[in-house]
Copies of this chain bind each other. A is one copy, B any other.
Amino acid sequence: MNWIEVLGVVAACCTTVSFLPQAIKTIREKDTSAISAAMYTLFTTGTLLWFLYGVFVQNFPIMLANAVTCLLASIILFYKFRYK
Protein backbone atom coordinates (compact mmCIF):
# COMPACT_ATOMS: atom_id res chain seq x y z
CA MET A 1 0.00 0.00 0.00
CA ASN A 2 1.56 3.33 -1.03
CA TRP A 3 1.12 6.59 0.91
CA ILE A 4 -1.72 7.81 -1.36
CA GLU A 5 -3.70 4.63 -0.57
CA VAL A 6 -2.93 5.14 3.14
CA LEU A 7 -4.28 8.70 2.81
CA GLY A 8 -7.51 7.32 1.28
CA VAL A 9 -7.90 4.74 4.05
CA VAL A 10 -7.33 7.36 6.80
CA ALA A 11 -9.84 9.68 5.07
CA ALA A 12 -12.42 6.86 4.85
CA CYS A 13 -11.91 5.96 8.52
CA CYS A 14 -12.40 9.60 9.60
CA THR A 15 -15.63 10.15 7.64
CA THR A 16 -17.03 6.70 8.60
CA VAL A 17 -16.16 6.76 12.32
CA SER A 18 -17.23 10.43 12.69
CA PHE A 19 -20.91 9.46 13.02
CA LEU A 20 -20.18 7.29 16.08
CA PRO A 21 -19.69 10.17 18.62
CA GLN A 22 -22.84 11.86 17.22
CA ALA A 23 -24.87 8.64 17.59
CA ILE A 24 -23.57 8.11 21.17
CA LYS A 25 -24.35 11.75 22.12
CA THR A 26 -27.85 11.51 20.61
CA ILE A 27 -28.64 8.18 22.33
CA ARG A 28 -27.39 9.49 25.70
CA GLU A 29 -28.97 12.94 25.65
CA LYS A 30 -32.06 12.27 23.49
CA ASP A 31 -31.71 15.90 22.32
CA THR A 32 -32.11 16.28 18.56
CA SER A 33 -33.35 19.89 18.47
CA ALA A 34 -30.31 21.23 16.57
CA ILE A 35 -30.13 18.24 14.21
CA SER A 36 -31.57 18.59 10.72
CA ALA A 37 -34.09 15.89 9.73
CA ALA A 38 -33.50 16.78 6.06
CA MET A 39 -29.76 16.18 6.46
CA TYR A 40 -30.16 12.73 8.02
CA THR A 41 -32.92 11.70 5.57
CA LEU A 42 -30.69 12.63 2.62
CA PHE A 43 -27.53 11.22 4.19
CA THR A 44 -29.08 7.87 5.19
CA THR A 45 -30.56 7.51 1.68
CA GLY A 46 -27.20 8.45 0.14
CA THR A 47 -25.19 5.90 2.15
CA LEU A 48 -27.79 3.21 1.34
CA LEU A 49 -27.38 4.00 -2.38
CA TRP A 50 -23.56 4.01 -1.96
CA PHE A 51 -23.83 0.57 -0.32
CA LEU A 52 -25.92 -0.74 -3.25
CA TYR A 53 -23.40 0.82 -5.66
CA GLY A 54 -20.65 -1.07 -3.80
CA VAL A 55 -22.63 -4.32 -4.14
CA PHE A 56 -23.09 -3.84 -7.89
CA VAL A 57 -19.45 -2.93 -8.60
CA GLN A 58 -18.34 -5.58 -6.03
CA ASN A 59 -16.19 -3.12 -4.06
CA PHE A 60 -15.95 -4.36 -0.47
CA PRO A 61 -14.48 -1.15 1.10
CA ILE A 62 -17.40 0.92 -0.34
CA MET A 63 -19.90 -1.65 0.99
CA LEU A 64 -18.32 -1.81 4.46
CA ALA A 65 -17.80 1.94 4.99
CA ASN A 66 -21.33 2.78 3.85
CA ALA A 67 -23.00 -0.05 5.78
CA VAL A 68 -21.43 1.30 9.00
CA THR A 69 -22.26 4.95 8.23
CA CYS A 70 -25.80 4.08 7.09
CA LEU A 71 -26.43 2.20 10.36
CA LEU A 72 -25.12 5.08 12.53
CA ALA A 73 -27.01 7.74 10.52
CA SER A 74 -30.21 5.62 10.74
CA ILE A 75 -29.96 5.57 14.55
CA ILE A 76 -29.63 9.39 14.63
CA LEU A 77 -32.55 9.74 12.16
CA PHE A 78 -34.69 7.39 14.28
CA TYR A 79 -34.00 9.49 17.39
CA LYS A 80 -34.76 12.70 15.45
CA PHE A 81 -38.29 11.46 14.68
CA ARG A 82 -38.76 9.69 18.03
CA TYR A 83 -37.66 12.65 20.24
CA LYS A 84 -38.68 15.77 18.31
Residues of B within 8 A of A40 (CB): 18
Binding site for B on A (CB under 8 A): 4, 7-8, 10-22, 24-26, 29, 31-36, 38-40, 42-43, 45-47, 49-50, 52-53, 56-57
Tell me the smallest distance from the CB of A58 to a CB of chain B, in Å: 11
Q: Is the CB of B47 within 8 A of A15?
A: yes
Contact between B36 and A34, CB atoms less than 8 A apart? no
Contact call B35/A35, Cβ cutoff below 8 A: yes
CA distance A7 to B18 in the complex (A): 24
A42: nearest chain-B partner, CB-CB:
B18
State the CA gap A7–B59 with chains docked (Å): 14
The answer to whether A26 touches B34 (Cβ under 8 A) is: yes
